[in-house]
Structure 1
Amino acid sequence: MIDESHWNSLLAAARAAREQAYAPYSRFRVGAALLDEAGRVHGGCNVENAAYPEGVCAEAGALSALVLAGGRQIIAAVVVGEGAEPVTPCGGCRQKLREFADATLPIRIADGQGWRGEHTLAALLPASFGPTHLTKKDGRDAAS
């Protein structure tokens, strides 16, 4: 169970990351923060590119920071963005989060005013494909 102090730390990190976003084309800045299995918080922001498909989402940036720090499991996630509707992770980022979390991952959504919602990864990515699908029936990794 994630306590409110963890959620508040994640919210602060995601908001700070959002302030650093590089979004000169869309002006749509997003920040994300992930809590790993060691209790560390990893932030990321979106980084656009003139070659539009080459940009990076905030969640992907936070995942890179998590992996760089040695994290391998996401315990909780926060995404911060401003919009008429709550800003949830895009489809690609939902799959990226799935690599390091199971279906029960809690994902809170916020904006500058406060919390806008909470979902599990299963609600955002039902019947997902993940690392366990690549494990052989005897429990060995498929690459073995």
Structure 2
Amino acid sequence: MTAPRRGSVRIGPISLFTLIITLCLAVMAVLSVTTAQATYVAAERQALFTSDTYANERAAQEFTAKVDAALASVRAAGGGQTEARAAVKRILPAGAKLDETTVRAEFTAESGRTLNVELIIEANATYRITAWKATTLWTDDSAGKTLWSGTASTR
């Protein structure tokens, strides 16, 4: 009787190709999950930022509507700039300022998004918007890495 032969395990080209494809798919799966998570976090941040922008915009629109209503009552009574300033001063929210004929108000959200509004009270008890500027407070809470210094060092 012949003893059964013990052969070595042979990895053929198909098996090797299958192993490489499996490894590539695993790497692609990990990269896809990581990218999806990063995109989700960025989308959440953008949603918060947009929501704060709209909240500031709404508060500024309501403020401007109150100023407009106060000035409309002065115009209806035939008042001038002095009466208009007095009427606007009565309705100013906390943090808003009235300097001579300029009304300044700032609306800030938790995210650092700020809306600065500036109105000028005209002589006929109307107003003119001179500034409506949205800004964001920059907070650098990470050490970060410099990707590019801005200079070309080729020698």
Give the shorter-chain TM-score range: under 0.3
- So what's the TM-score if we normalise by structure 1? 0.28
More helix by share: 2
Structure ID, larger Rg: 2
